[in-house]
A and B are shown apart, each in its own frame.
Chain A
Amino acid sequence: NAGVTQTPKFQVLKTGQSMTLQCAQDMNHEYMSWYRQDPGMGLRLIHYSVGAGITDQGEVPNGYNVSRSTTEDFPLRLLSAAPSQTSVYFCASSRSLDSYEQYFGPGTRLTVT
Chain B
Amino acid sequence: AQSVAQPEDQVNVAEGNPLTVKCTYSVSGNPYLFWYVQYPNRGLQFLLKYITGDNLVKGSYGFEAEFNKSQTSFHLKKPSALVSDSALYFCAVNPQRSFQKLVFGTGTRLLVSP
Whether B45 sits at the interface, judged by CB under 8 Å, is yes
A-B pair count, CB < 8 Å, reads: 57
Whether A26 sits at the interface, judged by CB under 8 Å, is no
Number of interface residues of A (CB under 8 A): 25
**Which one of B43, B51, B106 lies within 8 Å of A100 (CB-CB)?**
B51
Whether A2 sits at the interface, judged by CB under 8 Å, is no
**Which one of A40, A42, A48 lies within 8 Å of B90 (CB-CB)?**
A42
CA distance A104 to B4 in the complex (A): 20
Number of interface residues of B (CB under 8 A): 24
Q: Are B43 and A105 in contact (CB under 8 A)?
A: yes
**Which one of A44, A48, A104 lies within 8 Å of B43 (CB-CB)?**
A104
**Which one of A43, A48, A107 lies within 8 Å of B104 (CB-CB)?**
A43
**Which one of A44, A48, A101 lies within 8 Å of B99 (CB-CB)?**
A48
Q: Are A31 and B43 in contact (CB under 8 A)?
A: no
Q: Whole-angstrom distance from the CB of B38 to the nearest CB of chain A?
A: 8
Q: Are A100 and B105 in contact (CB under 8 A)?
A: no
Please name all residues of chain A whose beta carbon is closer than 8 Å to the beta carbon of B98 when the two chains form the complex.
Answer: 97
Please name all residues of chain B whose beta carbon is closer than 8 Å to the beta carbon of A50 when the two chains form the complex.
Answer: 99
Q: Whole-angstrom distance from the CB of B48 to the nearest CB of chain A?
A: 9
Q: Are B100 and A31 in contact (CB under 8 A)?
A: yes
Q: Which residue of B lies closest to A105 (CB)?
A: B43
CA distance A58 to B105 in the complex (A): 16
Whether B69 sits at the interface, judged by CB under 8 Å, is no
**CB-based closest 7 A-B pairs:** A104-B43, A42-B104, A43-B104, A104-B44, A101-B46, A42-B106, A106-B43
